[in-house]
Amino acid sequence: MMSSSSHPPGLPTDLTGRVIFVSGGGSAGPGWSIGRASCVTYARLGAKVCVVDRDPASAEETTRLILEEGGIAKTFVGDVSEQDQVKRLFNEARQQLGPIDVLHHNVGIGKVGGPMETSAEDFDHIHKVNVASLLLAAHEVLPEMLTRGKGNIIAISSVAGMRYLGYPHLAYSVTKAANTQFIRMIAQQYADKGIRANTVVPGLIDTPRIANTVAKMFSENGLDEARVARDRQVPMGRSGTAWEVAHACAFLVSDAASYITGTELVVDGGITGKYV
């Protein structure tokens, strides 16, 4: 008869005491962005959340939602694509909440258009925000993670970095593909140092950003029609929610994913399989 000590453990998703730095913890508009839903999810699992965004009101709204539920969160305002501001943000976060256990990099801007519609200046700016910002964040967290012998990095990419989804989005797609490869390289280089790094790859997710930027590529007749058009693309017949992406992130940063590094968790309702 097996003793109770030989039973496999339950799903270890508790994040109590961990400090999670979420770049892009606000929202592009009212409602639930991936960053905001991730912050709230981490806090519900016990983490101390650094809510980082360049929009102070949006970041503060995320923090308020966490505090109202009894969670722990602090707001930090700055531009994560600017080196001096990144250093300040991480220093403030450490001073107020402690050493960073998890970096959740949730930053992405884009401009609709292909090569002829994308200027060199646009491309450079989008690369700076989407990719160089990840390098700056890595410069801040990797030394302390190496010293402590543990750490976890999550980057939010996009299926646009894997497939053409029916409209040109060159700079966004290329930079999101770069995020994925960046994380793969971190994972390989530091796998034996106690550091895990993975990418979460959302598909068509219904967030405030869609209303502001992407919907017009699907329909000129309003957001509701655009949502219907997007839903038709997905094998599951609907767009995903920010919460579904946030839950995937929470799994990857938890001990439930302790043997997972250097991979991509695709959260897309099957759409990348459709476009193989």
Flag whether pLDDT at 221 surpasses 50.
yes
Q: Which residues are catalytic?
A: 172
Q: How many domains does the chain have?
A: 1
Give strand pairing partners of 53.
Answer: 77
pLDDT tens for each residue of 137-196: 999 999 999 999 999 999 999 999 998 877 788 999 999 999 999 999 999 999 999 999
**H/E/C letters for each residue in 76-91?**
EECCCCCHHHHHHHHH
Please report the pLDDT score of residue 2 as a whole number.
47
Flag whether pLDDT at 36 surpasses 70.
yes
pLDDT tens for each residue of 97-111: 999 999 999 999 998
pTM: 0.92
In this structure, is residue 2 part of a structural domain? no
Flag whether pLDDT at 13 surpasses 90.
yes
In this structure, is residue 224 part of a structural domain? no
Number of neighbours of residue 88 by Cβ within 10 angstroms: 14
Q: Domain range spanning residue 252?
A: 15-206+241-271
In this structure, is residue 129 part of a structural domain? yes
State the CATH number of the domain containing residue 61.
3.40.50.720
In this structure, is residue 190 part of a structural domain? yes
In this structure, is residue 232 part of a structural domain? no
Is the Cα dihedral 16, 197, 264, 232 positive or negative? positive
pLDDT tens for each residue of 231-248: 888 999 999 999 999 999
In this structure, is residue 10 part of a structural domain? no
Please report the pLDDT score of residue 1 as a whole number.
43
Report the alpha-carbon distance of residue 39 to residue 178 in Å, rounded.
24
Residue 239 amino acid letter:
S
Flag whether pLDDT at 87 surpasses 80.
yes
SS3 1: coil
In this structure, is residue 267 part of a structural domain? yes
Please report the pLDDT score of residue 211 as a whole number.
67
Contacts of 180 (CB under 8 A, 6+ apart): 155, 157, 161, 162, 199, 201, 264
In this structure, is residue 212 part of a structural domain? no
Rounded mean pLDDT of 24-30? Answer: 93
